[in-house]
Structure 1
Amino acid sequence: MPVPPPERECHCLRCEPPRWWRRPGTRDAANVRMVGTHGWAVTGVFGDPAGEWAYSIGLWHTFGSPELCLVGVPHQYATRYVNTVAGQIRDGDPLEPGRVRTGVMGGHHDTLGIAPVHDSWYPRLFGAAIDYYQRPPFPMVQLVWPDGSGRFLWDPEVHDGNRDRQPSLFLPLDQAAAPWQDR
């Protein structure tokens, strides 16, 4: 596995010992082990009334890539799709702003947009990543699926149902749709 270069800050549990006031738990140990073995881990979140999501942990440490999240898709699928894109990154296909990913999900959701996540969302959605990295910075991007007409959340003509099922994480939390803002 590549070692993080000096120009990239990484404060993860693999690079720095835990802060004196914090005792890493079982989840942290599992993430450290997964990142050490595979380069990343994926956390799936389910049972939340707003919806389900999954996100990566370790891409920043291992590859210098932003972490990935996919929101509004059942967690068992979201984890698979996050793993697929993480594998593409591992295989030399880095994320690029404004670029889309294809061949990930199949069907009319086969194209995913990429948008940076506003930092106001981190505490609400990415607790295991915050614990792993111990403190910022660690960038996170949202994999955004289109509506049935191929429009993404940032398109003013996107179907409202698409906005209800996946929040616009590139906007500050206080501008989010109600089910996600209230979680």
Structure 2
Amino acid sequence: MTDDPFRCRCVLCHDYGDLDEADRLGLTIIENVRKHGWHVVMVPEDDIGPGFAYTIGLSHTHGAPELAMFGLDVHAMHRVLNRLGEKAAGSTLADGQKHPDVVDGHEVALRKVDLRWYRTFFGRAIGFYRRPPFPVLQVAWPDADARFHWEEQARQGHRESQPRLWLPPSEHPVGVWTSEL
């Protein structure tokens, strides 16, 4: 991803002539972005791996990065992403920031997602924006000892519960997040 300013090319800003071909979820995403400013896609945990959730529309509505979160209950992640989405309306969300006021008693850290992960995790966002790059930040949460999953001292289960999407896929530790690559 470049550091060039984001120029929205989403389906709301440009008529691609195919809106009538959108499926039900695609239309729901468009409706929620129009009504609320963004939509949260929730992918529940399954036999393949932990659940995750991500926003679509923050870049369109607020010029803010989209947000992605992994490894918790999808409804809990939905709430966290909505809280951060509300913050995006009045402040800048950026790589390296920590936000102590989003999850009860715990801070979250924001990390810039490497573009090479987009097709693996953010297909609906690509469909909405029609192409990368659109900015995405991973919202990382700490373990019970306030350690993030990239820290050596973090518990092993916690280290595996979230990917490290700021790393290129070729440098990511092998595990559930790389099994589909």
Larger deviation: 139-148 or 23-32? Answer: 23-32
Q: Does the aligned pair in 1 maintain the 2:149–2:160 contact within 8 Å?
A: no
1:25-54 CA-partner distances (Å, limit 9, x unpaired): 222211111111111111100143211011
Number of matched residues?
173
User: Percent identity between the aligned chains?
Assistant: 33
What is the alpha-carbon distance in structure 2 between the residues aligned to residue 123 and residue 182 of structure 1? Answer: 14
Q: Does the aligned pair in 1 maintain the 2:147–2:153 contact within 8 Å?
A: yes
Structure 1 unaligned runs (5+)? 1-6
SS of 1:180's equivalent in the other structure is: coil
What is the alpha-carbon distance in structure 1 between the residues aligned to residue 78 and residue 113 of structure 2? Answer: 18
TM-score (norm 1): 0.86
Following superposition of structure 1 onto structure 2, how do residues 88-167 of structure 1 map, counting pairs within 5 Å? 88-90=87-89, 92-107=90-105, 110-167=106-163
Shift of 1:19: 6.3
Shift of 1:156: 3.2
Q: Does the aligned pair in 2 maintain the 1:66–1:138 contact within 8 Å?
A: yes
- Show the counterpart of 1:182: 179
What is the alpha-carbon distance in structure 2 between the residues aligned to residue 100 and residue 114 of structure 1? Answer: 6
Amino acid of the residue matched to residue 179 of structure 2? Answer: D
What is the alpha-carbon distance in structure 1 between the residues aligned to residue 22 and residue 133 of structure 2? Answer: 19
Amino acid of the residue matched to residue 42 of structure 2? Answer: G
What is the alpha-carbon distance in structure 2 between the residues aligned to residue 18 and residue 105 of structure 1? Answer: 39
Amino acid of the residue matched to residue 74 of structure 1? Answer: D
Deviating above 3 A after TM superposition, structure 1's stretches of 4 or more consecutive aligned residues are: none
SS of 1:55's equivalent in the other structure is: strand
Change (3 A) 1:47 1:158: closer
Q: Does the aligned pair in 2 maintain the 1:97–1:114 contact within 8 Å?
A: yes
Shift of 1:97: 2.7
Q: Does the aligned pair in 2 maintain the 1:18–1:134 contact within 8 Å?
A: no
TM-score (norm 2): 0.87
SS of 2:146's equivalent in the other structure is: coil
Structure 2 unaligned runs (5+)? none
- Show the counterpart of 1:3: none
RMSD: 1.8
